[in-house]
Structure 1
Amino acid sequence: MDLQKSLSVCLLTFFFATIVVLIAKAMDNQAASRLEPQLTRIADQLEALTASGGFPVASSTAVTSAEKPDRVVVNYFYSTTRCTTCRAIESQTSEVVQSQYAAELQDGTITWKTLNYEDDRSGLMEKFEIVMPVVVLTRFEDDEMADWKRLDQVWGIVNDKPAFASFIHDEIDAMLSEVYQSKSIARTQSQPVEDDTPIDSEEPSPADLPLPE
């Protein structure tokens, strides 16, 4: 899909460059000479793009590995208007997730997602009662949301980077421990229970009992 988009952009650029050439030919020589440097620059850019295989594809913040049915999702909800503080909350949260939970990101136990809540069509904005950019942790069991927590405190500690990182780490750990705990309980319940009750010896028959004197 990305390759198709790149090819389409290249073709459109070439098309517009052709139009410019035709217009230049219809104009006088003086106007055409003024357009020549621009046309040369467009041609050079097209040649460079062709050699590199097209336009570079922007990397996504989503995890490429498959999400596990039991997982924690670290969501950052932002608005269309981005302020410096909002961007700092996003970047510092992402830094904690990427640096301290690399293994969990890789195996899908943790997922990092960003979403413009003003364009939200999933109903999460109403569910989480979001009125401003914020971090929300969600926990899934069997691919169904089992718990969530909105971290409003990030606004008060965003300027204290160590405190911010510690807070995000502690909150993720707390919710992640619930994922591991539920998995442990599930494994325990699925294992057969061994009967450790000792086998009693055979009860003596009435004939073997001593008679009272």
Structure 2
Amino acid sequence: MEKLKQILTNALLAFALISTGFALGKHAVKPDVPADPQLPTANGRQIAVYYLHSTFRCVTCNTIESMTKALLDSTYSDALAAGAIQWHEVDFSENTAMAKQFEIVASCVVVAEMKDGIVTDYKRLDDVWTLMEDPAAFNAYISTAIDGYLKKTGGGV
């Protein structure tokens, strides 16, 4: 009887925590996310930086997105303005084709080389999760991927 009581207590606690997480998480999702984002259609070569996330996003997910966007805005503003780099925030739960293309199973950053709007190469940056506590290492990790593609495409900053 005591064992059953413990199991029910744990099950109710787990249910309460999961319900609370979903209730709080629905406020963390941006309301203006397009339902079906597409790969960019552009002429020439460029770099696409994607933050791919699931529909439910935790504080850590939002932090990774904001740190990535801040890096792009501060370090690559000229390349963004010139169109050499494009920023995309995509719900991979809704865009299953992109999730399959980039082999996405969890939220992450992807840096992709594009030619005429088609991905020719990409790097999935899964280590953003472990590096987010060290902003300098986080920025260096993402910058290394971006800079490598910028050198190849001739779209340097």
Q: Same fold (TM over 0.5)?
A: yes
Using structure 1 for the length normalisation, give the TM-score: 0.52
Tell me the equivalent position of 2:86: 111
What SS does the aligned partner of 1:131 have? coil
Alignment of 1:148-163 (within 5 A): 148-163=122-137
Stretches of 4+ moved more than 3 A in 1?
none
Alignment of 1:6-45 (within 5 A): none
Tell me the equivalent position of 1:136: 110
Alignment of 1:1-213 (within 5 A): 67-121=42-96, 123-180=97-154
Deviation at 1:67, TM superposition (A): 4.6
For residues 50-73 of structure 1, give each alpha carbon's deviation from its aligned partner in whole angstroms, at most 9, with x where no partner exists.
Answer: xxxxxxxx7x9xxxxx95520000
Give 5+ residue unaligned stretches, structure 1.
1-57, 61-65, 182-213
What SS does the aligned partner of 1:72 have? strand
For residues 69-110 of structure 1, give each alpha carbon's deviation from its aligned partner in whole angstroms, at most 9, with x where no partner exists.
Answer: 200000000111111111111000001111111111111100
Q: 1:76 is aligned with what amino acid?
A: Y
Tell me the equivalent position of 1:37: none
RMSD of aligned C-alpha atoms?
Answer: 2.1
> How far apart, in 1, do the equivalents of 2:125 and 2:150 lie?
15
The structure in which a higher percent of residues are strand is 2
Q: 1:133 to 1:154 in 2, by over 3 A?
A: same
Using structure 2 for the length normalisation, give the TM-score: 0.69
CA contact (8 A) 2:43 2:115 kept: no
What SS does the aligned partner of 1:119 have? coil
CA contact (8 A) 1:67 1:108 kept: no
> How far apart, in 2, do the equivalents of 1:111 and 1:67 lie?
10
What SS does the aligned partner of 2:154 have? helix
- Percent identical among aligned pairs is 33
- Which entry has the higher C-alpha Rg, 1 or 2? 1
Aligned length: 118
What SS does the aligned partner of 1:163 have? helix
CA contact (8 A) 1:76 1:115 kept: yes
> How far apart, in 1, do the equivalents of 2:75 and 2:42 lie?
18
For residues 154-208 of structure 1, give each alpha carbon's deviation from its aligned partner in whole angstroms, at most 9, with x where no partner exists.
Answer: 1111111111111111111011111118xxxxxxxxxxxxxxxxxxxxxxxxxxx
CA contact (8 A) 1:137 1:148 kept: yes
CA contact (8 A) 2:42 2:116 kept: no
Q: 1:96 to 1:67 in 2, by over 3 A?
A: farther
